[in-house]
Structures are given as C-alpha cells and as structure tokens.
Amino acid sequence: MLCGAIFLEGIDVAMLNVALPSIRSGLGMSTGALSWVLSAYVLGYGGFMLLGGRAADLLGRRRMFLLWLGVFVLFSGLGGLATEGWMLILARFVTGLSAAFMTPAGLSVITTAFAEGPRRNRALLVYAGTAAAGFSLGLVAGGLLTAIGWRWVFFAPVLLAALLLAAATVLIPRQDVPRRPAGERFDLAGAVTATAAMLLLVYGVVRLGEPGAAPATTAAVLAGGLALLTAFALIERRSSAPLVRPGLLRNGPLLRADLGALLFAGSFFGFQFVTTLYLQDLRGWTPLQTGLALLAVGVDSVLAPTLTPKLVDRFGHARVIFGGFLLAALSYALFVPVGADWTYPMMFPTMLLTGLAFALAYGPLTIAATEGVAEQEQGLAGGLLNTAFQFGAALGLSAVTTVDLAALGSGATPLEAFRTALVVPVVAAALGALVAAVGAVRRRAA
C-alpha cells in the first residue's frame, strides 16, 4: 500500500506533465501561467513537507498517511472540474499540501519497519522503483487520457487513490501515537516559522521564472523567506522540544543527500518541462507520442529494484549516486544540440541514459538521507529529503522558464531558446556530481 501511494504520486505528476499543452489550450492559459500548474503543487508540497514529516513522528504515521491520502483523492478530482486556470492552480496547491503530509509518513513507516542495513536498502530501492514505474506508466497513460480529454488525467488518479485508501485502512497495522513527556509542548513557533519560510522561499523561486514578475518584489519575498529561516534556527536552538533537532542538521551525509536531491530534481524536471514543450509546441507531436518518447526514461522502474541494489552492495550508495549524476549530466548534454528535424533514434540515448541515471541516484539518495537517523526522527528525515526534491523541482522549472523567456526576448528562435534552456539541467547535474564526489571521498576516508 505504501509503494502504491508513491506509485500514485508518480503517475499523477507524469500524466499532468504530458497534458500541459492541452490544459493550456483548454483553459486559455499563457506559458507563464501554465508553469504555475506545476509550481502550485510544488509550493504546497515543498512548503509543508517539513511540517508533514514531523507531524508523522509526533501524531502517528498511519493516521497522517490515511488522512492526507483522503485529501489527495478529493482535490485531485476537483482539479479535473476546473473551468478557470486559477481553480486548477488552487486544486494543485492543496493536492501538493496533502502529498507533503502523506509522503514522509509513508516513507517513515518503511524505514522504521526495517533495521538499517541491506534489508532496508532493498525496501527503499523497491519503493523508489515503484515511484519510477508510476512515472513511466503515467507518461503513456497521460497521452492516452489526454487524447480523450485532459480532465481525465485528474479523474483517473482518483479511482486508484480511492482503492488505495480503502486497502490501506485495512492492511496498514495500527500504531500507538507517540507520547511526549508530561509538560512538553508542541513547537508551534518553530512549525509556523519553518512553514512560512519554506512557502516564501519556494514562492520566490517560482517567481523567478514568472514573466513580468517585479524583481524587487521577488527579492523581497526571498529575503523574507531567509529572515524567517534564520528566526526558525534561533527558535530551534532555544526550544526544549524543537521541531527540528539542531544536531540533525549537522549530519553531513544527510545534508549532502538533501543538496544532491535538490540538484537532481532541478535538473530532471527542468529537462522534462523543456522537452515536453519542444516535442508538442515545436514539433507538433501529440500527447501520446510525447509520452511514448519519454517512456524510455521508465527503464529505471526495472533497474532500481534489480540492478541498483547489487551496485549499492558492491560499491556503496555514495559511489552509485556519483555515477548517477555523471550519467545525468551526460544525457542532458547530448540533448542540448537538438534540432528541428531530429528523429527519435537521435533522442533515444538521452531518454535511456536519463532513466539509468534516475535508477542510480534516486533510491540511493533516499538511503543516504535516512541512514544513521534515529527512529523517532525518520519522518523528519524523510520530510527534509522530499522538501529538497520539491524545492529543487521548483528551482529547475523556474530556471529553465527564465532562461527560455530571456532567450526569446533577446531575439532567439524558439528552438534556440530551448537549446539555451537545456544548459540549465546540464549545469545542475554537474554540480550534483561534485556534491556526490565529496560524499564518496569522505565515506571512503571514514
């Protein structure tokens, strides 16, 4: 059931990505407004993930998982009923918020069910492979459903989520809600400042890619987010029961894993956004053709639970992550010179290498981010990791949108603008490789 939930999230995001051009036409949205359909989900997800992870630890993992899976069902369906762009954006924000509570709860159920070591690693890699399977299936399903009507990319996940909710209620064992010592209070000040800080920071990053956004306002939003983040750090240092124990943030492997997750997500989602627009807007491919073209990326759903565990056992997760980033940088670089008449065989190496890179990096990053973390903080560790993923996704989308629009504004053709924007994923993956290299060297030295 827990793997089913992450499968649901993967298929939901993938189907939406393929349907973006059809949604833009159906609701009369601009390209800048269209990016908000993705960014609103990321804003809710990234803004509340830290709180969601800690809520799982403090209020009960099963309870949080079931409650927010129900909210996910409701608002995913409401997105399909939207008649205006703002309605869809609002529905996606709440859907992302629900995922922010649901995902770390599900991940922490897994990490606390298995002792640290090979069994947990294999469970996490199967979990990652299931997410990848949902994503790859979603690419094709999204194309098929969009051909019928783009609203079905929202209605279909509702049916799957409802089945998962009914099954999870029965199959996930009941757990005792953790008890805090008498007199200990919930860190409300920390929760408010952390959530507000993440909302402002993610919103500021999203605004970077928004056409016509005032630079002064964007700078003020980012400055406000950083100020709140500073306030949060001071509150946690003085709190008797901090939302985030300061010592956790001094965990080098965890911080490197989270930074790596941010860069990996930024490169991947930036690449996918540009590629989808290239195939449908410039080449005139249908949503189904686009989904089939991206299907090769789904090779990670096969490799993550089969090849990756063997590589992790032999070389360790740090080296495998490093290899994944190198492959990602190579795959995106191969696509930078894309032409207006490229055949699919010319695109295929990038699609295949991207899937292989995902298989090598995603699951091992999850292992690195939760390794050595106490059981009572596993939800928080999962929340930090997924916050990094979502913040990275927002940063990647904003960066490629900003670069693309800037190139168009300077007189570049749409194809030239796409090529320029594709440099962003290459740079992000290269930076991720540097971070991973540091982790590999330090782990070997230890």
d(CA 15, CA 145): 8
Residue 301 pLDDT greater than 80, yes or no: no
Write out pLDDT tens, residues 41-86: 877 877 787 777 778 777 787 888 888 888 988 898 888 898 888 8
d(CA 211, CA 417): 15
Residue 270 pLDDT greater than 80, yes or no: yes
Residue 180 pLDDT greater than 60, yes or no: no
What pLDDT, on the 0 to 100 scale, is given for residue 181?
A: 52
The secondary structure of residue 278, as a DSSP letter, is I
Tokens at 307, concatenated: 């090849």
Percent of the chain with pLDDT over 70: 93
Q: In whole numbers, what is the pLDDT of the chain averaged over residues?
A: 83
Residue 68 near residue 105 (C-beta atoms within 8 A) = yes
Residue 367 pLDDT greater than 90, yes or no: no
Q: How many residues does the chain have?
A: 446
Task: Give me the mean pLDDT over the 341-347 stretch.
Answer: 94
Angle of helix 344-370 relative to helix 378-409, nearest 10 degrees?
A: 150
The secondary structure of residue 341, as a DSSP letter, is T
pLDDT band, very low/low/confident/very high, at 186 (cuts 50, 70, 90): low
d(CA 337, CA 361): 25
Which residues make Cβ contacts (< 8 Å) with residue 210, sequence separation at least 6? Answer: 32, 35, 36, 398, 401
**Amino acid making up residue 19:** A
Q: Say which CATH topology domain 1-172 has.
A: Growth Hormone; Chain: A; (1.20.1250)
Task: Give me the mean pLDDT over the 251-262 stretch.
Answer: 88
Residue 130: which H helix or E strand, with range?
helix 118-148
- What sign does the dihedral 48-54-58-61 (CA atoms) show? positive
Residue 183 pLDDT greater than 90, yes or no: no
Taking the model in full, what pTM does it have?
Answer: 0.81
Count CA atoms within 13 Å of residue 51 on its CB side. 23
- Is it true that 1-172 and 251-445 share their CATH fold? yes
For 201-225, letters b (16+ CB in 10 Å) and e give: bbbbbbbbbbeebeeeebeebbebb
Residue 184 pLDDT greater than 70, yes or no: no
Write out pLDDT tens, residues 371-424: 877 777 777 787 788 778 878 887 888 889 888 888 988 899 999 999 999 999
Query: Which CATH homologous superfamily contains domain 251-445?
Result: MFS general substrate transporter like domains (1.20.1250.20)
Residue 1 pLDDT greater than 70, yes or no: no
Write out pLDDT tens, residues 89-108: 999 999 988 988 888 787 77
Residue 364 pLDDT greater than 80, yes or no: yes
d(CA 355, CA 349): 10
d(CA 253, CA 440): 10
Which residues make Cβ contacts (< 8 Å) with residue 299, sequence separation at least 6? Answer: 136, 352, 355, 356, 359
The secondary structure of residue 303, as a DSSP letter, is H
Q: What is the CA radius of gyration of the chain?
A: 21
Show me where the domains of the chain are located.
1-172, 189-244, 251-445
Greater model confidence, 365 or 167:
365
pLDDT band, very low/low/confident/very high, at 122 (cuts 50, 70, 90): confident
d(CA 209, CA 187): 34
Tokens at 232, concatenated: 């949060």
Residue 186 near residue 58 (C-beta atoms within 8 A) = yes
Range in 94-98, 161-165, 168-172, 340-344 with the lowest mean pLDDT:
168-172
How far apart are the two ends of the chain, measured CA to CA in Å? Answer: 37
Task: Give me the mean pLDDT over the 157-178 stretch.
Answer: 76
pLDDT band, very low/low/confident/very high, at 434 (cuts 50, 70, 90): very high
